[in-house]
């Protein structure tokens, strides 16, 4: 006699229908749904339908909490108890030229705060921290939990890929969201990010929630909703959580790509670098120090006196990299020049990010290779005055066939006008 399949406590079609008509799902229903999908009792087509219903109808606070908890329960939980120093993590929702993690982690390590930074890879127009660091010869993103903890204890900071045991349900669901147009949803984004961050086990978390053309959420209102949702999830779990709302309408810094962003990060660690990158690095550092109970510590001197640079070099070496090795340089470069006189009104972050992606700095699908030398140098910012013929961008890549597609976007990425544009603060708000 063949074995009968177990009787499931819920009917997934019924749950899809409930959510389609904006009815709340209970905690037991959500817990079963996540577990059943991981077990294969719910088909991908069914989970896709339910995710689309969530995108359209949303979720209430209790549902989001239940979804986050169910994804955490699908895997292991880490702990950094006994580290001997506070552990504060940072997460950015992604942007163009957003290399802040690279100088921020060693800066915090030099100030006595341990940062267990689990990072990801780029997809589409937003760059990935791991892709940037893999420009450094020998550097390894994949560490075991034991290796991660060793580097954290020895250096005070580690940047690596999340292990497969951390919130595996989220990994499976995100892969489905990525190919079904269900990424841009506040409940799904919040539960995805926070399930991994809570499972990671840090004492506190600072969120950099971005809005603007280069962010996943264009409006500040949507970014604030996401920030409030994630802060509540963190605080409800007992993790001190604060979010900063930051403007991603203009690329951060000058460099957009991989190796060129590492170079710019090293400039910041040496006490230089673009003003906006330094401003956001220090703004996030001060918020992390506040969560660690180090409110009286000023992070700025550590960039000038070499302490943060020393921590960077130790961190890179601890993960197999050579911080003194030459970084990749592209074989092909082209300069985009201004077609007329004027004052720069806008540098569209999304256009620049997509241009860098077309040049080879990003990937269209998970697993695609990236060209670490490819990217864009942004030579102007809003408010700069330019004359016809002045350089606006330098595009770089190793594959000449990619160049034209990147240049076509950069030619339209700068808007000129006759008046000074209104000032837009980089850090536009805080949610705590």
The reply to whether 91 belongs to the active site is yes
The reply to whether 20 belongs to the active site is no
Rounded average pLDDT over 78-89: 91
The reported pLDDT for the residue numbered 4 is 66
The reply to whether 331 belongs to the active site is no
The reported pLDDT for the residue numbered 188 is 95
Q: What is the largest CA-CA distance in the chain?
A: 83
Q: Please tell me which residue in 110, 135, 192, 265 is annotated as part of the active site.
A: 192
Same fold, 88-318 and 332-417: no
| 121-154 pLDDT tens trace | 876 677 789 999 999 999 999 999 899 999 999 9
The reported pLDDT for the residue numbered 162 is 85
Look up the CATH number of domain 88-318. 3.40.1030.10
Spatial distance between the Cα atoms of 355 and 376, rounded to a whole number of angstroms: 8
Q: Please tell me which residue in 19, 125, 196, 224 is annotated as part of the active site.
A: 196
The reply to whether 196 belongs to the active site is yes
Domains of the chain, by residue range, sit at 12-58, 88-318, 332-417
The reported pLDDT for the residue numbered 6 is 74
Spatial distance between the Cα atoms of 18 and 166, rounded to a whole number of angstroms: 29
The reported pLDDT for the residue numbered 165 is 87
Buried b (16+ CB within 10 A) or exposed e, 361-376: bbbeeeeeebbbbbbb
The reported pLDDT for the residue numbered 141 is 95
Evaluate whether the domain defined by 12-58 bears CATH number 1.20.1600.10.
no
Q: Please tell me which residue in 19, 90, 91, 240 is annotated as part of the active site.
A: 91
Token reading at 189: 């984004």
Contact 202, 162 (CB under 8 A): no
The SS3 of residue 155 is helix
The reported pLDDT for the residue numbered 123 is 66
Spatial distance between the Cα atoms of 241 and 206, rounded to a whole number of angstroms: 6
The reported pLDDT for the residue numbered 1 is 43
> Is the pLDDT assigned to residue 94 strictly greater than 80?
yes
Rounded average pLDDT over 214-231: 95
Mean residue pLDDT of the chain comes to 94
The reported pLDDT for the residue numbered 299 is 98
The reply to whether 372 belongs to the active site is no
Rounded average pLDDT over 177-190: 89
Q: Name the CATH code of domain 332-417 (choices 3.90.1170.30, 3.40.50.300, 2.170.8.10, 1.20.1250.20).
A: 3.90.1170.30
| 357-411 pLDDT tens trace | 999 998 877 677 889 999 999 999 999 999 999 999 999 999 999 999 999 999 9
> Is the pLDDT assigned to residue 110 strictly greater than 70?
yes
Rounded average pLDDT over 270-279: 97
Q: Please tell me which residue in 89, 98, 170, 371 is annotated as part of the active site.
A: 170
> Is the pLDDT assigned to residue 294 strictly greater than 70?
yes
């Amino acid at each position: 006699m063949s074995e009968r399949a177990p009787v499931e406590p819920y009917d997934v079609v019924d749950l899809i229908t409930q959510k389609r008509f904006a009815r709340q799902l209970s905690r037991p229903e959500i817990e079963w749904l996540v577990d059943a999908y991981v077990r294969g009792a719910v088909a991908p087509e069914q989970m896709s339908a339910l995710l689309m219903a969530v995108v359209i109808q949303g979720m209430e606070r209790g549902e989001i909490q239940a979804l986050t908890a169910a994804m955490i329960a699908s895997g292991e939980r880490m702990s950094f108890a006994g580290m001997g120093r506070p552990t504060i993590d940072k997460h950015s929702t992604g942007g163009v030229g957003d290399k802040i993690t690279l100088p921020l982690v060693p800066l915090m390590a030099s100030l006595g705060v341990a940062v267990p930074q689990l990072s990801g890879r780029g997809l589409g127009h937003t760059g990935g921290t791991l892709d940037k660091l893999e420009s450094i010869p020998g550097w390894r993103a994949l560490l075991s939990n034991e290796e991660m903890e060793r580097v954290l204890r020895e250096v005070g900071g580690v940047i690596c890929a999340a292990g497969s045991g951390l919130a595996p349900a989220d990994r499976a669901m995100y892969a489905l969201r990525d190919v079904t147009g269900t990424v841009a949803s506040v409940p799904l984004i919040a539960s995805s990010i926070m399930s991994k961050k809570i499972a990671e086990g840090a004492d506190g978390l600072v969120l950099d929630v971005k809005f603007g053309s280069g962010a996943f959420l264009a409006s500040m209102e949507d970014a604030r909703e996401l920030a409030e949702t994630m802060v509540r999830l963190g605080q409800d779990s007992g993790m001190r959580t604060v979010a900063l709302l930051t403007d991603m309408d203009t690329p951060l810094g000058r460099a957009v790509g991989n190796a060129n962003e590492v170079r710019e990060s090293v400039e910041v660690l040496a006490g230089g670098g673009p003003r906006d990158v330094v401003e956001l690095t220090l703004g996030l550092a001060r918020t992390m120090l506040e969560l660690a109970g180090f409110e009286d510590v000023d992070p700025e001197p550590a960039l000038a006196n070499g302490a943060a640079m020393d921590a960077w070099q130790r961190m890179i070496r601890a993960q197999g990299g050579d911080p003194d090795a030459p970084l990749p340089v592209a074989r092909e470069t082209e300069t985009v020049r201004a077609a007329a006189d004027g004052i720069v009104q806008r540098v569209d972050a999304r256009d620049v990010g997509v241009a860098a992606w077309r040049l080879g700095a990003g990937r269209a699908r998970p697993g695609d290779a990236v060209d670490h030398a490819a990217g864009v140098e942004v030579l102007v910012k809003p408010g700069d005055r330019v004359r016809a013929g002045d350089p606006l961008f330098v595009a770089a890549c190793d594959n000449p066939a990619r160049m034209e597609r990147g240049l076509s976007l950069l030619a339209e990425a700068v808007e000129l006008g006759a008046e000074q544009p209104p000032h837009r603060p980089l850090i536009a708000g805080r949610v705590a």
